[in-house]
Each structure stands twice: as structure tokens, then as C-alpha cells.
Amino acid sequence: VPLNAEAKLDLPEMVKVSKGAGLVYLCNPNNPSGTVHGPETIDATVRAILKESPDTYIHLDEAYIDYGDPAKIQTGLALTQEFKNVFITRSFSKAHALAGMRIGYAMGHRDTLNAIRNSWGMGDVSMLGAIAALTAFEDREHIEWEREENNRVKAFTVGALNDLGYDVPESHTNHLFVDLRAPARGFREACMERKVAVGRDFPPWENTHCRISLGSMEEMQVAVRVFREVLG
């Protein structure tokens, strides 16, 4: 189901086509757009899907939730406690800064998680990786700092892009989905010539939008200078 005109998940359309589906995947905050749906909307959507299709599993991907504004997005954990076939996945690769460890976790009913483990496998986790993940999980001070710093860098970058005349949907992640009004490939290649790497295409939006990941303030100051050269 394509994103709607606001670059958000088209939840009503997803409900319509969910009947008989084995799995419905809801990425909130969304990748690549960075947009979110609030807890009431997610709750209503899950209930509508399960009313139409009680045997369908619903995967809530919350990989980027630590970057989100708590006033606009909250975890769907309560839904996993109410419904056996709703489960959540999260990652240590984003706000926890452990991308090289390739570690994540899932929350849901024991039977559902066991079925996933038995049919797909959960990969191997080293002792060092497990210790790092558990330590990072408990470090809420870092997560708060990461969110605040990301918001600061995001505001700077969005402001620069807006000044250049480009729209950016409100992002609750560490990346921006910029409406370039042109294919992302040309922008990406022009940036690379100036030693700034911009991410891959995200079909079917590759002819209009580009996802830009946020780095440190110093890195984004360099990137913005390049964006002004390329887009100005």
C-alpha cells in the first residue's frame, strides 16, 4: 500500500486490504518518510484489522521510536499484551548506536515469538554483543541526549532545506525525506562528487524524494554547504 499524500502510512487502505493477510507490517515511525501515527490511530487500526481478519499477525516496527516526540508517538506494547498475534520489533542499531553489533529484540506473546524463532531463526549474538545491548538498554540518559541532539541537528538541516525552497515532512527519526521535485539519483551523484554521501533510492518515490540521514552537527554543517551548492 503506497504512502498517502502526507508521506504517512495509509492506514485506512491497509485495513481494507488486510482481510486474509498472513501479516500486516506497520513501521511507526516510518522508514523512509520519518512520519508517525499517534497511539489512538495505531490502536484503532490494529483493532479494525483484527476485526476483519482475526488470524492475521500484525508487526509493529518501532526501530526509530526513541527519536520520536512522546507527545505524538507511543509504543504499542499494550496491544501485544491484549492480542496474541501482535508483536513489536526494535533495534539497537539506531538511537542505541550499536549498528555494528546487528542486535535487536522483539516483544509479544510467548507462542508468537517462539513460532518466529522456530521458523526463521534469530541469528547469533556474541557474548560481547549481548553485554553491550543490555548496557545500552539501561542507559536512558544516552537515549534522552540522543533524542535532543538529533532534534537540534534536524531543526538546523530542515531549516536550511526549507530556506532553499524544499519541503520536508515532519520527521520523528534520524533521517529526512526531502521532496526534491526531481530524481534522487542526480542529487545523490552531485553530492558524492563533493564528498557527501546521500542514501539509496526508495521506490516508488525515487523520482521525487530523497532520504537524507542525519549525522553530527559538524557533519551536517558540511552537508548543508554542499546542498546549497547543488540545490541553490
The DSSP line for 129-198 is HHHHHHHHHH-HHHHHHHHHHHHHHHHHHHHHHHHTT-B----SSSEEEEE-SS-HHHHHHHHHHTT---
The dihedrals phi and psi of 47, each to the nearest 5 degrees, come to -65, -40
CATH assignment of the domain containing 147 = 3.90.1150.10
> Scanning the structure block, which residue is given the C-alpha cell 500500500?
1
Averaged confidence pLDDT in the chain? 96
Residue 98 counted as domain residue: yes
Note whether 73 and 29 are within 8 A (CB): yes
pLDDT at 118: 86
Both 164 and 129 in one domain: the answer is no
Both 20 and 74 in one domain: the answer is yes
- Give the β-pairing of 175-179 and 23-27: unpaired
pLDDT at 122: 63
Low-confidence ranges of the chain (pLDDT < 50): none
Query: Hey, CA dihedral for 196, 94, 10, 115, is it positive or negative?
Result: positive
Both 20 and 128 in one domain: the answer is yes
Both 112 and 73 in one domain: the answer is yes
Global pTM reads 0.94
Both 220 and 111 in one domain: the answer is no
Both 20 and 90 in one domain: the answer is yes
pLDDT tens for residues 31-52?
Answer: 999 999 999 999 999 999 999 9
Residue 6 counted as domain residue: no
Both 111 and 173 in one domain: the answer is no
Domain tally for the chain? 2
Both 24 and 103 in one domain: the answer is yes
Residue 108 counted as domain residue: yes
Note whether 6 and 169 are within 8 A (CB): yes
Both 98 and 80 in one domain: the answer is yes
Both 27 and 70 in one domain: the answer is yes
Both 102 and 146 in one domain: the answer is no
Range of the domain at 115: 11-138
Q: Of 171, 168, 174, 170, which Cα lies nearest the Cα of 146?
A: 174
DSSP codes, 25-51: EEESS-TTT-----HHHHHHHHHHHHH
pLDDT at 10: 98
CB-based burial of residue 209 (10 Å sphere; 0-12 exposed, 13-18 middle, 19+ buried)? buried
pLDDT at 126: 87
CATH assignment of the domain containing 101 = 3.40.640.10
Residue 23 counted as domain residue: yes
